[in-house]
Amino acid sequence: MRWGEIDIIARKGEVLVFVEVKPRTGHTHGTPANAIGSKKLLSLIRSCTHYASSRGYRNTALQIDAISVYLNPDGSVRNLVHYENIVR
């Protein structure tokens, strides 16, 4: 994509949902969701709107979600948290 990658693209009813997945093994640099700063969010918005308009979804509602994945030291998943509609 021109502005970056989109981790997951899905439909929820009539809404096109774009999901940013952020894994972390610790909290040294904050939570995974904290890693989505204003620059990353702007890049996500641009990528999502470009994707939607280039594929004919011009009148479709768009939503951006985030999933924080907390990993154990061995790489296995300890927990995940789904944040819906992080752009309002």
Instruction: Specify the pTM.
Output: 0.86
What average pLDDT does the structure give for the chain?
Answer: 89
Which domains does the chain carry? Answer: 8-83 (3.40.1350.10)
Q: How many Cα neighbours within 13 Å face the side chain of 2?
A: 9
Q: How far apart are CA 56 and CA 40, in angstroms?
A: 24
> For 38-63, what is each residue's pLDDT tens digit?
998 999 999 999 999 999 998 999 99
Query: 26 or 49: whose pLDDT is higher?
Result: 49
